[in-house]
Amino acid sequence: MGTLLLTLGWSTITILIYLAAKSFHRLLPRWWTAPLAVTPAVLIALVLLAHEDYSDYIRGTHWLVLLLGPATVAFAVPIFEQRALIRRHWPALLLGMVAGSTAAMLSAWGLATLLGVGGELRLSLLPRSISTPFAMTVSGDIGGVPDLTAVFVVFTGVLGAALGEGMLRWLPLRSSLARGALFGMGAHGAGVAKASQVGREEGAVAGLVMVLVGVMNVLMAPVLALLLR
């Protein structure tokens, strides 16, 4: 296939599947119909059926991934909108994010080692608890495979959003700040959507935590890379 055809073809298919997955989720709103899970699953099936491989697919759709750049810039808006919340609760937010990020890295490293998962795969698992554009950056910095990290981020989001509700019932949490942080730190984008269903304040906190923890991890990545060397 020519490059132009490849780009037009796979880009159109990707966008159409994405839009269809969103409509389907509106019709049947369950955790396993989340577009986050359905879109990649359908696309993988299509690429396999077409007997294409990933290098052809990504050549045609790479421009979409580039848009994660301006999407990162867009995170400035929720940060600015929630500046009152940051001023008021920065100690709890900061310590929660430091503890959460540390727990994310240590649990990934420890569990992976325990189960005999090593090398690039283990490194790619470390930043899976932060939002995709940040996670892929960190993964590249510390010697992981950014694309694999994107896969793990998706699984973390889908499973985290599904497990989070049960965690709320199980943990004796008293504040909406803690409930929001649980979803924002544990399941990033998918968690924010779930937290917004729990409450407006939970949703705002989750969104803020997701963004701030992403920035924090990117800024800390060079230090982490030194530690891992």
Partner 1 sequence: MSVITRRQWRHHRLVQIALLVLAWLAGEAIVRVSGIGLPGGIVGMALTLLLLATGQIQLGSLRRGAQWFLAEMLLFFVPAVLAVLNHPELFGWLGAKVLAVIVLGTLTVMAVTSVVVDMVLRLTHERATA
Residues 45 to 84 in contact with partner 1, rule: CB under 8 A? 47-48, 53-54, 57-58, 61-62, 64-65, 67-81
How far is C-alpha 170 from the chain's CA centre? 24
Within a 10 A sphere around the Cβ of 195, how many other Cβ atoms? 31
Smallest gap, in angstroms, from Cβ of residue 30 to partner 1?
A: 17
Q: Using an 8 Å Cβ cutoff, are 142 and 200 in contact?
A: no
Question: Which residue's CB is nearer to partner 1, number 8 or number 219?
Answer: 219
Residues in region 87-106 near partner 1 by CB under 8 A: 89, 91-93, 95-97, 99-100, 103-104
Residues in region 6-35 near partner 1 by CB under 8 A: 14-15, 18, 35
The count of residues interacting with partner 1 (CB under 8 A) is 95
Radius of gyration of the chain (CA): 18
Question: Which residue's CB is nearer to partner 1, number 9 or number 179?
Answer: 179
Q: What is the DSSP string of 66-126?
A: HTHHHHHHHTHHHHHHTHHHHHHHHHHHHHHHHHHHHHHHHHHHHHHHHTT--HHHHHHHG
How far is C-alpha 188 from the chain's CA centre? 5
Q: Which of 43, 195, 204, 224 binds partner 1 (CB under 8 A)?
A: 43
Binding mask of the shown chain, residues 159 to 198, with x at each position contacting partner 1 by CB under 8 A: xx--xx--x---x-xxx-xxx-xxx-xxx-x---------
Nearest CA to 212 among 79, 69, 77, 92?
79
Residues in region 104-163 near partner 1 by CB under 8 A: 104, 107-108, 111-112, 115-117, 121, 125, 128-129, 131-133, 136-137, 145-148, 150-156, 159-160, 163
